[in-house]
Chains A and B, each alone.
Chain A
Amino acid sequence: MSTTTVERPEQADQRSPGATRRIGPLRTLQHGLTLAGRSVLKIRKSPEGLLDVTLQPILFLAMFVYLLGGAIAGDTGEYLQRTLPGVMAMNMVFGSLGTGMQLNNDITKGVFDRFRSLPVARSAPLIGAVLGDVVRYVVSIAVLLVVATLMGFRIETNVVSAAAAIVLVIGFALCVCWISVMLGMLVKSQQALPGVAMSFMFPLTMGSNVFAPTETMPGWLQAWVSVNPVSKLADTARGLMIGGPVAGPLSATLVWMVTLVVVFFPLALGAYRRRV
């Protein structure tokens, strides 16, 4: 076969030895914030995308308070007081599904290819998506608090500790979302994600002390509920918002948060690298 070839003059080697140029943490954060701005822009364009983190927890709250609250606690008002902080905690787990969905969409639509062909840190798109979701969580908590207040919820401690509870809950969201991110990278299509995600979300949210005291649960369930991070976070938030012990559940929550990040951030990053 006849193949015409070009002559290839040796090109001057411009590389300095071992010159793998990297993007430092500061620029990574800057790129991440720019991409978080994109998420915020999208929320502003289609606020209906927030329904999952606004309407759903309100429905949960109303259903449990009015339907079961009287039977569980003897009084709906009292039940609302102890349940709201837990619903806030629970909602962070459900809300993380949105992060996974968005990332999966960005990968399948090729948007990440564009970002990755730019001199941008490789993890920036992930960090951007997660930071952008902080806005979702803040909106979600604000709406929930307004509705709960209308239903009769009152903070029994003070504004500072209630604010601390909110910060903690959002901090927890930023740790637990890496599970969704990982799953978002692993599933082939966006449609498959909610089903898969439920398998970890349900034990975390429903298998907790958010809705009912644990005394009447069977032993195996009690064992899980008492270590469940959502229970620990709910306990902490309750303590901070309506009074009660804080130090114990807070340290357990913090340990969980660190654990979630240490385990799932590398797994999510690994899945992302394999996927893109």
Chain B
Amino acid sequence: MTLAVQAEGLVKRFGTTKALDGVDLAAPAGSILGVLGPNGAGKTTSVRILATLLKPDAGNATVAGHDVLRDPVGVRGKIGLTGQYASVDEELTGTENLVLIGRLLEMSRSSAKARAKELLERFGLTDAGNRAIKTYSGGMRRRLDLAASLVGRPEVLYLDEPTTGLDPRSRNQVWDMVGALTSEGVTVLLTTQYLEEADQLADRISVIDHGRVVAEGRADELKRHSGSQTLQVRLSDPDDVTATETILRELTERSPTANHETGLLTTPAEDPVLMSALVRRLDEAGIVADELSLRLPSLDEAFLSITGKPAGGEDSTPESGEESTA
């Protein structure tokens, strides 16, 4: 496994604000790394350092084999960047923006045009190609921004909060496009405030808060670390609920939550053998279950248990010193 992005101990201060306080990130080539954190966590700062737009105060990073400090030009030859805010020229058309980037990448005029056409097609913007960006909707702008970062066929793509502010349909479109990229071997580093997004897209997730990585792993690993699983039973016949309640109480020694109308029962399940025991008991009692599942806690719950506060929150209330006992 080669690492396409590897950052170690990144530190960045802005005046008295410590935006990054020793961030380590690692993205294997061809994978999607999700960098998950609330507003102000340091996501954009990390991305800007990895894209050579900012120099870290300490630490180092290698991107596609090039050192961001020693060979920034080499890094820029391998990356594409879609920043948090669209960075395309509002007055130019979609085609003109893409051709300009192609020309800056020293493509011939005709191949820059061909590449622009191809990308507009791929992002469903062919009809809008000859309109100024300022007439685009938010979703179209995002897609053009994404297209712009792909002109040079980057090996590593940074997406800084690619779906923030998008409606659900546009968000799904962006997700599909990101998924398609990895099938071409592109390594994607994606930042997000949305746990759902990281869960959907990322192979591995680094949770970042106050300029530090507070957890790292696969989505399911992070979820497993943050508390027990939930056993869920959906019965064919809601009349069986009372009998099933009794069985579950015997097995877990606590009362399950039960809904007599829908026939749905849930209970915390620390013991992994609970499932097979339940299957046997239901079978003996002649109760038919439509669905029998062990659900991991959501990443929201995981984030809460890792950082001690809900994800994606505005983080507007200053810390009232409850951590002073630590």
Residues 101 to 143 of chain B near chain A (Cβ within 8 Å):
101, 103-106, 132
Kindly specify which of A19-27, A89-97, A156-164, A195-203 makes contact with the partner chain.
Answer: A19-27
Say how far A39's CB is from chain B's closest CB, in angstroms: 10
Interface contact B89-A111, CB-CB below 8 Å: yes
The yes or no answer to A113 lying at the interface (CB within 8 A) is yes
Which B residues between 43 and 61 are near A, CB-CB below 8 angstroms?
51-53
B154: nearest chain-A partner, CB-CB: A117
A8 in contact with B73 (CB, 8 Å): no
What are the residues of chain A within 8 A of B101 when measuring CB–CB?
114, 118
How far is A276 from B71 in the complex, measured between Cα atoms in Å?
18
Q: Say whether A113 contacts B26, CB under 8 Å.
A: no
Q: Return the chain B residue nearest A16 by Cβ.
A: B71
Closest beta carbon of chain B to A270's beta carbon, Å: 15
Residue pair A110, B83 in contact (C-beta under 8 Å):
yes
Q: Are B225 and A19 in contact (CB under 8 A)?
A: no
Determine which of B26, B91, B104, B217 lies in contact with A34 in the assembled complex, contact meaning CB atoms within 8 Å. Answer: B104
Question: CB-defined interface of B76-91 with A at 8 Å, one 1/0 digit per residue?
Answer: 1101110101111111
Residues of B within 8 A of A224 (CB): none
- A8 and B8 CA atoms in complex are apart in Å by 11
Q: B136-157: which residues lie under 8 A (CB-CB) from chain A?
A: 148-149, 152
Residues of B within 8 A of A109 (CB): 87, 90
Shortest Cβ distance from A120 into B: residue: B104
A6 to B79, CA, bound (A): 23
Query: Which residues between 109 and 149 of chain A lie within 8 Å of chain B, taking CB atoms?
Result: 109-120, 124
Q: Is the CB of A1 within 8 A of B306?
A: yes
Contact of B70 among A19, A46, A117 (CB under 8 A): A19
In the bound complex, residues from chain B placing their C-beta under 8 Å from that of A216 are: none
* Chain B hits for A188, CB < 8 A: none
Instruction: Indicate whether A20 sits within 8 Å of B71 (C-beta atoms), given known contacts A1-B214, A3-B216, A8-B6.
Output: yes
How many B residues, CB 8 Å from partner? 53
Q: When the two chains form their complex, are residues A4 and B73 in contact, meaning their CB atoms are under 8 A apart?
A: no
Q: Is the CB of B71 within 8 A of A117?
A: no
Say which residue of A6, A11, A41 sits within 8 Å of B216 (CB atoms): A6
Q: Is the CB of B83 within 8 A of A2?
A: no
Given A15-B66, A114-B81: A5 touches B216 (CB 8 Å cut-off): yes
Chain A interface, number of residues (Cβ within 8 angstroms) = 43
> Whole-angstrom distance from the CB of A217 to the nearest CB of chain B?
44
| CA of A23 to CA of B74, assembled, Å | 11
Q: Which residues of chain A (30-70) have a CB below 8 Å from chain B? A: 30-31, 34-35, 37-38, 41-42, 45-46
CB of B294 closer than 8 Å to a CB of A: no
Closest B residue, CB atoms, query A106: B89
The CA of A186 and the CA of B132, in the complex, are separated in Å by 29
Contact A113 B104, beta carbon cutoff 8 Å: no
**Option from B26, B51, B92, B218 in Cβ contact (under 8 Å) with A41:** B92
A110: chain B residues within 8 A (beta carbon): 83, 85-87
Is B161 at the interface (CB under 8 A from chain A)?
Answer: no
Asked if A9 CB lies within 8 Å of chain B CBs, one says: yes
Residue of A nearest to B218 (CB): A4
Q: How far is the CA of A1 from the CA of B305 in the complex (A)?
A: 10
Q: Interface residues, chain B, CB within 8 Å of chain A?
A: 1-3, 6, 26, 28, 51-53, 62, 65-67, 70-71, 73-74, 76-77, 79-81, 83, 85-92, 96, 100-101, 103-106, 132, 148-149, 152, 204, 213-218, 221-222, 225, 306
**A interface residues, Cβ below 8 angstroms from B:** 1-6, 8-9, 11-12, 14-15, 18-23, 27, 30-31, 34-35, 37-38, 41-42, 45-46, 109-120, 124, 276
